[in-house]
Amino acid sequence: MPLSRSERYVIDLLQRRFGVHLTKIQEKNETAPDFTLVRDEQRLFVAELKDIERYPASADRGWTIPKPGDMHYPFAHRTDNAVSRVADKIHQAYHQLKDFPPPRVLILLNHDSLVDVKDLEEAFTGEQVYANAVFSYVNTVSKKIAEGKIKEEKGKIDLYIWIDKRTEHIRFRYPTQTGHDLAHSLFPESNSNRGSNA
């Protein structure tokens, strides 16, 4: 099966930045993970790649599209659903990884400027902290997502690799000790560019 554009991009990026060469798993069905990493005949992890696509603003995707003369014209707007979208990717990936022994890795390739690594953190904690020099406010509206269908699943994926396609910034999140050890042994950047970790 030929590699998708995203698969080729991730393989090339991780090889170039870290010398990590992912091997595509020849999927027998749609529920198998995408990659494995093997060194010295030992499997170090299996990984699933999920794209966070950029979708044009449209009414069928929940956007309000203002008309000329409206206060918000020409800017479409909607309630932020980024955390929910990230949680859906975690849920889908877990079901593709769960039948494989750990370590399990989820690679999130983000194409959408309205989504960022903070949305991954919020999917874990259910909180977003807004602060400035005068006050801070903790928004807990995402608690129901963090403690919903991914409550148990999110901690069973050992390592999360967040890649922003536009900038090639890479962030790491490791909810388990196994993920921590994997990140620090294979991805030296994870020491200084890891985001928050549980």
pLDDT digit string (tens) for 68-99?
Answer: 666 555 444 345 688 999 999 999 999 999 99
CATH number at residue 26: 3.40.1350
Specify the number of domains making up the chain. 1
Q: Is residue 149 part of a domain?
A: yes
Q: Is residue 196 part of a domain?
A: no
Residue 131 in 3-state DSSP? strand
Q: Is residue 198 part of a domain?
A: no
DSSP H helical ranges for the chain: 5-18, 82-97, 117-125, 143-146, 177-186
Q: Which domain holds residue 25?
A: 5-191
pTM of the complete model beyond 0.85: no
The predicted structure's pLDDT at residue 94: 96
Profile the chain (198 residues) by mean pLDDT over runs of 10 residues.
90 95 82 87 93 71 57 49 92 94 96 91 89 80 91 96 95 95 87 48
Q: Is residue 67 part of a domain?
A: yes
The predicted structure's pLDDT at residue 41: 84
Contact partners, residue 2, CB within 8 Å, separation at least 6? none
The predicted structure's pLDDT at residue 195: 46
